[in-house]
Amino acid sequence: MSDLRDVLEREARRIEGAPEAWETMMQRATRRRTARRVGTAVLALVVAAGGSLFAIRALGPTADVRPVAAPDTLTAEIAGVSVDFPADWTLLDVRHQIDDEAPASPFPSPVLEILNVTGQSCLNARGTPLPETAVILQVAELTEAPGRLPAWPVSLERESGSSFGCGEGQPVFRDHHASWRASGRHFSATLGVGPDASRADIDAAFAAFSSLRFEDGWDPFLEFSAGPRQVVNSGPAWISHAFEAAHGEFCVQVGGERIRGDTVGAACEFTVTARQPLDFSTKAMDDGRVAFGAVTHEATRVTVNGAEARVVTPLGRYSVEYKLFAAFVPPSSAVEIEAFDDAGRNIVTAGRTFPSDGSSPPPPVETPEPLTPQARGARAFVEEFAAARVDGADREALRRFLSDAVDTAYAEGRGELSLYEEPGVGPYSGFEVPHTEEISGQDHMVSLGMSVETRGCVETFYEELVVRVAGDELRIVGASRPGVIASDCPSGRP
């Protein structure tokens, strides 16, 4: 294969980094920092200036700040976390500071930050230099707990030799850490203390930490954050992001972690067109699933199974077109989503029925027509899948089966399944079983995604199946309609 390597090397050597690349990059970094500084300075000043109530309400959909008994103290609530802090300090809702293009991963998801100066959050090292007198308390939620954490209340502990900077060239802060669980969620906090911080400010930061309260009943792992890309939801093994795509469409990416024993990033994607809530449910905790999605801005109310869903609006700072909603649903119930406008008119209804654990009959298998050739291929796979068998009824066996089925199909060149039988269809450019989950004792939801190239354009399909494991047999007892979720085919194709 050295010939191929030589060919690639020859092609690669056609371009070289410009001599001024470093300077260009630094100029670009400066421009980005300046743009952020303007926006954040306005944010921080407004928040710090006592008129905080309006400001935080405007900036964070669920943030709530109000004066408490002592006039020099404010209480804020962000994402179910309440904190008391000095009124002349700055509170930042940092939930939007999710890396917009970083690989999905269960790293701490920032919630709030308080500091004794007016300034930028230093969580992403994007801020203006903080003075050496600064004190910063950062609270983040852990989407995946590193082992069993102690229950709240806990104390901030100094870690020997530990310290952190807030951007290159900025003062070094000594820091303290704590991790804990509370109300079914997992958190970590870092307290940074500048080299010249006053004792009073350090004490105030410790007091603020001790004042943290966690709303009972706040939906674990059910958090929205503002920004161009947001963590919509996450669970022990997966995380989803939402972002606005071109042409007003709205994309939700579901990235699985350690699925099939491996790390899979952005394993599945959805594109939701206007007026169509994303009908996707998944298991967020041991005792339920979360239905979540997006509706267009004219929806003022969303219900899931008749109950009000949490609706957050607008979607991020750069879009007023969509609102996100979410609600917990029981493990085996149907999911019926309805959205209503200002006048109470039902503007959209969507839903799907999952089979229960036997108390109700399984839903009929849909037979959508007309089907494209690709969709017929998807259906063929479903049928082949339904006829397959596994050794045992346990979840691992199912997982193994799915994994092996895909690997074998690839290895034997059968990844195409029956799609090649359709003239002009093929080959696959992707085929994934990105997600499986147990939705009752014997039923599993299986997500399938596949991309198919047809006459030079690519369409990506997504389908959800409900698979029942009975003895050594797998049976499809429910299926969503295979839908095109992405395509670069010109309109009207195929």
Partner 1 sequence: MPDPGNGWGRSSVSSPMDALTEPAQVALVTEPPFEDFFHAHFERLLRVLYLVGGDRHEAEDLAQEALVKAYERWDRIRGLSDPAGYVYRMALNARRSRFRRLALAARKSVGRPEPDPISATDDRDAIRRALRTLPEGQREALVLVEWLGLSDEEAGKLLGVRPVTVRVRISRARPMLQEALRDV
Conformation bin of residue 377: beta by default, left when phi > 0, alpha when psi is -120 to 50: alpha
Tell me which stretch binds partner 1 (CB under 8 A): 77-85, 242-250, 329-337, 377-385.
Answer: 242-250
Identify residues 110-139 at the interface with partner 1 (CB under 8 A): 123-126, 138
| The only residue of 24, 198, 349, 360 in contact with partner 1, by rule CB under 8 A | 24
Q: Least CB distance from residue 136 to partner 1, whole Å?
A: 11
Q: Least CB distance from residue 167 to partner 1, whole Å?
A: 7
- Nearer CB in complex with partner 1: 57/258: 258
Identify residues 245-284 at the interface with partner 1 (CB under 8 A): 245-247, 249, 251, 255, 260, 262-267, 269, 271
**Position 38 contacts partner 1 (CB under 8 A):** no
My answer on whether omega of the bond before 370 falls inside 30° of 0, hence cis, is yes
Q: How far apart (Å, rounded) are the C-alpha atoms in residues 22 and 270?
A: 37
| The only residue of 7, 68, 200, 387 in contact with partner 1, by rule CB under 8 A | 7
Identify residues 205-234 at the interface with partner 1 (CB under 8 A): none
Tell me which stretch binds partner 1 (CB under 8 A): 41-49, 62-70, 407-415, 467-475.
Answer: 407-415
Query: How many amino acids of this chain bind partner 1 (CB under 8 A)?
Result: 86
Tell me which stretch binds partner 1 (CB under 8 A): 16-24, 64-72, 309-317, 467-475.
Answer: 16-24
Q: How far apart (Å, rounded) are the C-alpha atoms in residues 434 and 29?
A: 36
| The only residue of 142, 197, 327, 467 in contact with partner 1, by rule CB under 8 A | 142
**Position 407 contacts partner 1 (CB under 8 A):** yes
Q: Least CB distance from residue 262 to partner 1, whole Å?
A: 5
From residue 253, how far is each of 5, 270, 294, 452 by CA, in Å? Answer: 34, 6, 13, 19
CB 450 within 8 A of CB 430: yes
Question: What is the full DSSP assignment across 12-80?
Answer: HTT----TTHHHHHHHHHHHHHHHHHHHHHHHHHHHHTSTHHHHHHHH-TT-EEEE-SSTTEEEEEETT
Q: How far apart are the first and last CA of the chain?
A: 37
CB 476 within 8 A of CB 382: yes
Q: How far apart (Å, rounded) are the C-alpha atoms in residues 62 and 74?
A: 16
Q: How far apart (Å, rounded) are the C-alpha atoms in residues 468 and 441?
A: 9
Residue with token string 């066996």: 397
CB 90 within 8 A of CB 112: no
| The only residue of 20, 72, 101, 216 in contact with partner 1, by rule CB under 8 A | 101
Site string for partner 1, 50-79 (x = CB under 8 A): ------------------------------
Q: How far apart (Å, rounded) are the C-alpha atoms in residues 381 and 414?
A: 11
CB 388 within 8 A of CB 470: no
The count of C-alpha atoms lying within 13 angstroms of the C-alpha of 150, restricted to the half-sphere facing its C-beta, is 7
Identify residues 170-199 at the interface with partner 1 (CB under 8 A): 172, 175, 177, 179, 188-190
| The only residue of 34, 105, 198, 360 in contact with partner 1, by rule CB under 8 A | 105
| The only residue of 49, 317, 366, 410 in contact with partner 1, by rule CB under 8 A | 410
- Nearer CB in complex with partner 1: 1/69: 1
Tell me which stretch binds partner 1 (CB under 8 A): 23-31, 46-54, 274-282, 470-478.
Answer: 23-31
Residue with token string 């969709």: 375
Identify residues 436-475 at the interface with partner 1 (CB under 8 A): 453, 456-458
Q: How far apart (Å, rounded) are the C-alpha atoms in residues 280 and 6?
A: 47
- Nearer CB in complex with partner 1: 188/418: 188
**Position 32 contacts partner 1 (CB under 8 A):** yes
Beta strand residue intervals within 421-480, DSSP E: 425-438, 443-454, 457-470, 473-479
Tell me which stretch binds partner 1 (CB under 8 A): 161-169, 206-214, 295-303, 435-443.
Answer: 161-169
- Nearer CB in complex with partner 1: 189/327: 189
Q: Least CB distance from residue 287 to partner 1, whole Å?
A: 24
**Position 384 contacts partner 1 (CB under 8 A):** no
Tell me which stretch binds partner 1 (CB under 8 A): 207-215, 404-412, 435-443, 472-480.
Answer: 404-412
Q: Least CB distance from residue 430 to partner 1, whole Å?
A: 6
Task: Report the amino acid identity of residue 389.
Answer: R
Q: How far apart (Å, rounded) are the C-alpha atoms in residues 276 and 347?
A: 10
Q: Least CB distance from residue 456 to partner 1, whole Å?
A: 8
- Nearer CB in complex with partner 1: 375/479: 375
Task: Report the amino acid identity of residue 457.
Answer: C
**Position 146 contacts partner 1 (CB under 8 A):** yes
Task: Report the amino acid identity of residue 23.
Answer: E
**Position 400 contacts partner 1 (CB under 8 A):** no
Neighbours of 259 (CB within 10 A): 22
Cα 271 to chain center, whole Å?
14
